[in-house]
Chain A
Amino acid sequence: MKEDLTEEITRIVNGKLTKKEINELMNFIGQAISSNLCSERDGFFKNLAYEMTGQVKELALMIIDFRKELRSKIHPHLTEIATKYAPQTADQLQTIIEATETAANKIMDNLEAMQEGTEAIKKSLTSLKQEAFVMPGGTEKIHGHVLSAISPFINSIESTMEDFSSRISDSFVQMSFQDLTGQRIKRVIDLMSQTEEKIKRMVISFGIKLTEREKNPNITSDELEKAVEQKVVELAGPQKEGEGLDQEDIDALLASI
């Protein structure tokens, strides 16, 4: 490219400048371009870094607000379970899976009881029919007009019981909503956990780097990275595990961004 520029300048000046003067002009142009580009480039990336840092801060605040909102909008009983009975389960979404599982199991308990009752009635009806109509001498035990009166009634009950059995089985299968919603929620939980981890990492990294750089403008990149790793290890202590973004520590870091 430099050769092309030299040729072009040579052509423009049309022999009015010596080779030495052209080289000096080339050097001057080179320096001028470099210094402009550098300061422009620095300015560009600086602005980009500020913009990105600002967006990361917004994301972190969004997640913190979302958690607060979820706590306030979720059914009080579920919040109670999460905070009182399951203090280690910081994730409210996991609590939803557990609550729906409990409800589905209670419904299935009732359905199973109804199934057993229905089967028992069906067996009794079959037995009654056999005694009244099928067994040898059975018809002699019951008077003709009584027989003709109860026969349709028994058949009707049998048909209703069949219908009940079918509906109970179908209701049982409908409980699979808990599995299907649970799987979807689990994926959201995984995604949220991974996103939170990455945002936490970015907040820590930007926060520490900005703070340390302000204290000591001569700090090296290696020293900054070490400071970030130290903070990451500090925040990953046992009391912080599973809690996602910790309010106090992140607030402090966000304030520095």
Chain B
Amino acid sequence: MDLNMKVLIVDDFATMRRILKNILRQIGFTNISEADNGRNALKELKKDDYGLVLCDWNMPEVSGIDLLKSMKSDDSLKGIPFIMVTAEAQKENIIEAVKAGVSSYIVKPFTAETVGEKLNKVFTS
């Protein structure tokens, strides 16, 4: 896992973005950007080379699942690991995310350890 890679955190709640940023910094990531919805995330992803996306599901304008689907249909973005970080824990949601190509799924509330474990799993699998 390259700790210098660029990471994008996408969530409409600033508090959540800050929490995830703190966890990623504790793990050792230093290059972290933020977006508050899927539309802005897509713009950000096209600007630079990102190595990882952590994204909420329920967001205004473009939701997390729609962002994932957009990324998977774009050759320049489909290879970027995408971790859904969301309070949506219904089976249908998880299935939909898996079908759309999600790399991992973290349910809120989560612990810092869970985030670390999921990241390790994504980058070693």
Contact = CB atoms under 8 A, between A and B. Distances in A.
Interface residues of A, number: 18
11 contacts: A108-B18, A169-B23, A173-B19, A173-B109, A173-B111, A179-B13, A179-B108, A180-B87, A180-B108, A180-B109, A183-B58
A115 B22 CA distance: 10
Interface residues of B, number: 17
A112 interface: yes
Contact of B26 (A104, A169, A182): A169
B56 to A, nearest CB: 8
Instruction: Decide if the interface of chain A is mainly helix, strand, loop or mixed.
Output: helix
A235 interface: no
B11 to A, nearest CB: 7
A91 interface: no
Listed residue (A105, A170, A183) with the most chain B CB atoms within 10 angstroms of its CB: A183
B19 A105 contact: no
A234 to B, nearest CB: 30
Interface of B: 11, 13-16, 18-19, 22-23, 26, 58, 87, 108-112
A179 B111 CA distance: 14
A192 B15 CA distance: 25
B84 to A, nearest CB: 14
Contacts of B111: 170, 173
Contact of A176 (B14, B16, B58): B16
Contacts of B22: 108, 112, 115, 169, 172
A176 B16 CA distance: 6
Given A108-B15, A169-B22, 19 more contacts: A105-B14, A108-B19, A115-B22, A169-B23, A169-B112, A172-B22, A173-B23, A173-B109, A173-B110, A173-B111, A175-B18, A175-B19, A176-B15, A178-B16, A179-B13, A179-B19, A179-B108, A180-B109, A183-B13
Contacts of A212: none
Contacts of B87: 179-180, 183
Nearest to A182: B13
Contacts of A196: none
Given A112-B22, A180-B87, A183-B58, A173 B112 contact: yes
A101 B14 contact: yes
Interface of A: 101, 104-105, 108, 112, 115, 169-170, 172-173, 175-180, 182-183
Contact of B19 (A101, A115, A176, A182): A176
Contacts of A112: 22
B28 to A, nearest CB: 13
B112 A179 contact: no
A105 B18 CA distance: 9
A180 B85 CA distance: 12
A65 B54 CA distance: 42
A161 B13 CA distance: 31
A182 B19 CA distance: 15
Listed residue (A115, A170, A176, A178) with the most chain B CB atoms within 10 angstroms of its CB: A176
Nearest to A103: B15
B23 A105 contact: no
A180 B13 CA distance: 10
A99 to B, nearest CB: 12
